[in-house]
Amino acid sequence: MGKPTGFLEYNRQLPADRPALERIKDWKEFHLHMSEAELRKQGARCMNCGVPFCHTGNIVAGMTSGCPVNNLIPEWNDLVYKGLWRDALERLHKTNNFPEFTGRVCPAPCEGSCVCSINAPAVTIKNNEVSIIDRGWAEGWVVAEPPSRRTGRRVAVVGSGPAGLAAAAQLNKAGHTVTVYERADRPGGLLMYGIPNMKLDKNEVVLRRIKLLEQEGVKFVCNTEVGKTLPAARLLADFDAVVLATGATKPRDLAVPGRESKGVHFAMEFLGSNTKALLDGAEAPISAKGKNVVVIGGGDTGTDCVATSLRHGCKHVIQLEIMGKPPLTRQPNNPWPEWPKVLKVDYGQEEAAAVQGEDPRVYLTTTAKIESDASGAVKAVHTVQVKWEKDAQGRFGPQPVPGTEKVIPADLVLIAMGFTGPEQALLDEFRVQRDPRSNIAAEHGKFLTSIPGVFAAGDCRRGQSLIVWAINEGRGAARECDRFLMGETRLP
């Protein structure tokens, strides 16, 4: 702790964003950068607590508290303050294979459990993290480090999202020959086609890291869907071990009349096809241009749909949220170090407010039905307000409030209600056991499925979760896979 009084002397400060009305005209990342002097002040705010909760990575009250990859946060915050950027990068890479991803799109549960945030704004951990890795790339410190020896063991990784990439990176580091299979035309999984370019640049950030992994010896095979174009039995025969990291890509559907109307799409259809079109230099197959857009779902994916619709030039966008509006500050039933359930205005809402004059979110509202015109195209969304209470059977849930019905004009409806689990066809092919939620049954910490030599990591094992949990599980599955192959492991 190089600056014992830093948290008293300096206020929390984040870099500015490009103005909302400017950034919606393109697909470039919108965060600007801070000077080194300002970044060092922010590093000085870290208290180097006797018991730092920021890197614990625990589940508290059903929510993530602290960093699941156990980043050495106080150490590299202090190194930032001292200007020892290369040392900070070394500390960061000890626990996190891809800090340029987490530093951009992780919701930062570390900041929610920062001791400083008990009675003051948290340390800017997330921005410090991304500043370290971006400095590392800019200075040329991030270079390929292929293993000095090869073990002769071959491992297949199915899925190239954050869990698959983390597993591949670690297994390759251990000296195994790793092949990653991806059904899309580009590697990256969720990082490539699930997160819009303005949050995570594909060429300058995602593919840059993937190219580095290739230089280190990882092989990527795209346009190959295991279980369809490549039989699972082939992988089991050709490789010494397999890591399944397919994600939880089965979307939660909306069971209301009119769901089949033309112009109603899952969020990932909209977002993924838009990113592909952007990278291919083509027109987006699902466009919001000139349309009234209704986004059903208030999470990060819903926000991405709002921001993408604005960049298309939509006429108007509204975001329906079945939950109530969060409070501005922590409530007594949500104490530190739990994740703070407080109101946040994300980039999409900020942009919509700049264009439309108000936050696009409508709380405590659910969809009753979708109305279509004579041609079967969506025309309107019928909504009703809800209140959360017990029903006649004693089950707590959203109950419709009579007399609150509304009709919202809609030309495009995007369902962003989360995911229910992994797609089952591939799991059937491997004949792995499932848990009651349809995820692959594999104990956290061991990651071994019911099939010897087949491991599972990430959302396909734990269900829809955070990118940092995916990296945690990819690293953990790699460690146990290495132990399986070699009888022991030195992987962390």
Total domains, the chain:
3
Please tell me whether residue 347 adopts helix, strand or coil conformation.
Answer: helix
Is 115 in the same domain as 45?
yes
Nearest-angstrom CA–CA distance, 438 and 459? 11
For residue 350, which of 13, 24, 108, 15 has the smallest C-alpha distance? Answer: 24
Which CATH number characterizes residue 46's domain? 1.10.1060.10
Whole-structure pTM value: 0.96
- Where residue 256 falls among pLDDT bands split at 50, 70, 90? very high
Does 12 have pLDDT greater than 90? yes
Is 268 in the same domain as 375?
yes
DSSP string covering 17-79, please?
Answer: BPPHHHHTTS-S--B----HHHHHHHHHT----SS-GGG--EEETTEEES-TT---HHHHHHH
Does 479 have pLDDT greater than 80? yes
Is 17 in the same domain as 50?
yes
Is 378 in the same domain as 455?
no
- Where residue 1 falls among pLDDT bands split at 50, 70, 90? low
Does 2 have pLDDT greater than 80? no
- Where residue 238 falls among pLDDT bands split at 50, 70, 90? very high
For strands 177-181 and 154-158, give the pairing: parallel
Give the count of alpha carbons within 13 A of 449, CB side only: 25
Is 121 in the same domain as 258?
no
Does 207 have pLDDT greater than 80? yes
Is 329 in the same domain as 437?
no
Please tell me whether residue 290 adopts helix, strand or coil conformation.
Answer: coil
Proportion of the chain above pLDDT 90, given as a percent: 97
Of 91, 115, 139, the position where a domain reaches its end is 139
What lies within 8 Å, CB to CB, of 418 at 6+ separation is 251, 252, 297, 299, 301, 464
In a domain, residue 148? The reply is no
Of 139, 166, 200, the position where a domain reaches its end is 139
Domain extent for 482: 154-249+420-486
Nearest-angstrom CA–CA distance, 215 and 144? 6
Is 52 in the same domain as 186?
no
Give the count of alpha carbons within 13 A of 177, CB side only: 8
Amino acid 50: pLDDT:
84
Amino acid 3: pLDDT:
86
In a domain, residue 149? The reply is no
> Which H or E run contains 276?
helix 267-280
Task: Average the pLDDT over 411-437 and give the result.
Answer: 97
Is 428 in the same domain as 311?
no
Is 23 in the same domain as 108?
yes
More confident call, 395 vs 309: 309
| pLDDT tens-digit map of 312-333 | 999 999 999 999 999 999 999 9
Residues in the chain: 492
| pLDDT tens-digit map of 176-198 | 999 999 999 999 999 999 999 99
Proportion of the chain above pLDDT 70, given as a percent: 100
Which CATH number characterizes residue 161's domain? 3.50.50.60
In a domain, residue 280? The reply is yes
In a domain, residue 79? The reply is yes
Of 107, 139, 171, the position where a domain reaches its end is 139
Query: Which alpha helices (H) appear in 96-231, and where do they start and end?
Result: 99-105, 109-112, 125-139, 162-173, 190-193, 207-215
- Phi first, then psi, for residue 258 (nearest 5°) are 90, 5
Task: Average the pLDDT over 91-98 and give the result.
Answer: 98
Amino acid 402: pLDDT:
96
Is 234 in the same domain as 199?
yes
